[in-house]
Amino acid sequence: MTLSLPRTIISLNEMLSVSRDWKKAGETIAFIPTMGALHEGHLALMQYAESLASKVVVSIFVNPSQFGPNEDFSKYPRTLRDDLEKIKHLKIDAVFTPNASEMYPPDFQTWVDNSMMSLDFCGPFRPQHFRGVATIVLKLFHLVDCDHAIFGKKDYQQVKIIEQMVRDLNMPIKIHPMETIREEDGLALSSRNRYLDESSRHVSLALPVALNVAFDMFQSGVRSRSEIENAFAEEIARYPEIQLEYGKVANQSDLRRDGDEITEASVFLAAVRVGGVRLIDNLELGQ
């Protein structure tokens, strides 16, 4: 049996009317926003969605407003045909692939801006990134009219900001954060991994290794934020090919970092650059 490709929807009006009709018929909708170049991490979110609602919508949209002027927007992989092939065995009721020109018409001027959690971690390295993310996710939530939305903890700061947005703006949507899917050697799956050449791919393993150093210290009872962060930075510094952007311990609940002593369930968040590729990852440290 050959499986057919999932239904794609490009126009905003069509997406609105499809979701409205589903809702009228009593269906519930689970939604997975992506930028495409799909991998097993994305697929895991989609598989989980089936258990949450009667309809599953995936969006594939490389959102220009979350890229800075010197970032990889133009070279970000766009592989729609492959993506549709990869997901045709899953129960996906629609793949929403809007055009940037319809999402952001020339007179577009309204933004969703998180004023706290976006300031640290990736924030200073990617000015306006989370403003672009929050705005597009809000727009997609409206268009898809979802009851559930699934996000990867791989982008930890992003999930926290989306959860905050849903609370702050009283949106009746349940956010489901999912565990990070990794390669066998520990590297977190990411659409950007395909930019890594062989030697950068090898060196990039230092990131999960250093995160595990932090994890082991925490497990062995160390509760000093600076001690753990310094050990992480030292581990990364062993590889001259890697530039550390940040490696920080924060509260899982609100990403705050109060005082040197870790007293709450925490997470180690990090970003590095390897061979011109920016990689982010994190590990929950527990309580």
How near is the Cβ of 283 to ligand AMP at its closest, in Å? 13
**Virtual CA dihedral for 248, 253, 254, 260, nearest 10 degrees?**
-40
3-state secondary structure of 256: coil
**Closest residue to ligand AMP using C-beta atoms:** 152
Q: Do residues 273 and 243 lie in contact, with contact meaning Cβ atoms separated by under 8 Å?
A: yes
In angstroms, the CA 236 to CA 232 distance is 6
* Residue of 42, 89, 142, 202 with catalytic role: 42
Among residues 97, 135, 157, 190, which is the contact residue for ligand AMP, using CB under 6 A?
190
97 binds ligand AMP (CB under 6 A): no
Pairing of strands 94-96, 8-9: parallel
Count residues binding ligand AMP (CB under 6 A): 17
Listed residue (260, 241, 238, 239) closest to 249, CA to CA: 260
Token pair in block for residue 257: 């970092």
Q: Do residues 148 and 31 lie in contact, with contact meaning Cβ atoms separated by under 8 Å?
A: yes
In angstroms, the CA 77 to CA 97 distance is 15
Which range touches ligand AMP (CB under 6 A), out of 35-43, 96-104, 121-129, 195-203?
A: 35-43
Among residues 19, 59, 164, 191, which is the contact residue for ligand AMP, using CB under 6 A?
191
How near is the Cβ of 39 to ligand AMP at its closest, in Å? 7
Q: Residue 261: beta bridge partners?
A: 224
Among residues 126, 139, 148, 154, which is the contact residue for ligand AMP, using CB under 6 A?
154
Among residues 151, 195, 218, 246, which is the contact residue for ligand AMP, using CB under 6 A?
151
266 binds ligand AMP (CB under 6 A): no
Residues assigned a catalytic role: 42
Task: List interacting residues with ligand AMP (CB under 6 A).
Answer: 34-35, 41-42, 44-45, 151-152, 154-155, 178, 180-181, 188-191
